[in-house]
Amino acid sequence: MIEVYADIGCPFTHVGLRRFVERRAEMGREDVQLWVRSWPLEVVNEKPLDPDFIAEEIVDIREQLAPDLFVGFETEKFPVSSLPALTLALAAYGVGAKGGEAVSLRLRDLLFEQGVDVSDPAVLADLANEFEVQIGAADQQRVLDEYISGRDRGVIGSPHFFTPSADFFCPALDVSRDSLGNLQVCANEAAFDEFILACFS
């Protein structure tokens, strides 16, 4: 099991999870699953994510690295909060790891590839019904508990992966800003290969 602390609305997480799943499929190692834990950036930053800022990051990621991703992203459909979606994903893990991973990936696909507002209660209800997930009264508090556990484990951002032997912050990408503040993003193949080795060795 590979753990990763991440937010639903983080575009770097979407890239990292996609790359992990693709490499896992190439290796035929579907036995190694992802446990996507809650790292709500709106709690970390004490304010909601800015949809326009996320859109700017997505433009840079598509231009510099991944033109095939984020094809359906719509700024106006960006969730006002990631907490309801994180709560659903956490509840899905309560049913089983396979379903929890599937819900976590589906939520990001809906947001970034299909332009769906994943804070919409109707969208979340449909997903809950599809995956036979019931959200309990304590699940939202458990999202915050996961955030606290991540902070205690030294999580520095989204996504932060924990393998059996090491931890890796955003291993799929090399992300920086130039002297003018422009986002610079490229694939970090060496770091990603090291991460994959730690996942599947």
Q: Could you give phi then psi for residue 19, rounded to 5 degrees?
A: -65, -40
Q: Burial letters for 96-111: b for 16+ Cβ neighbours within 10 Å, e otherwise?
A: eeebbbbbbbbbbbbb
Q: How confident is the model at residue 86 (pLDDT cuts 50, 70, 90)?
A: very high
Domain ranges of the chain: 2-200
Per-residue pLDDT for 183 more than 80? no
Express each pLDDT in 55-71 by its tens digit. 999 998 898 888 899 99
User: 173: closest CA among 23, 16, 66?
Assistant: 16
Per-residue pLDDT for 178 more than 80? no
Residue type, 169: F
- Grouping H, G, I as helix, E, B as strand and the rest as coil, residue 161 is strand
Hey, which of 32-36, 138-142, 168-172 has the most confident mean pLDDT? 32-36
Give the pLDDT confidence score for residue 181 in this predicted structure. Answer: 74
Locate 129 and state its tokens. Answer: 């019904």
**Residue % of the chain over a pLDDT of 70:** 100
- Grouping H, G, I as helix, E, B as strand and the rest as coil, residue 120 is coil
Per-residue pLDDT for 176 more than 80? no
pTM of the model: 0.93
Terminal alpha carbon distance of the chain? 12
Express each pLDDT in 5-46 by its tens digit. 999 999 999 999 999 999 999 999 999 999 999 999 999 999
Express each pLDDT in 99-121 by its tens digit. 999 999 999 999 999 999 999 99
Query: What kind of fold does domain 2-200 have according to CATH?
Result: Glutaredoxin (3.40.30)
What is the DSSP-derived secondary structure letter of residue 1? -
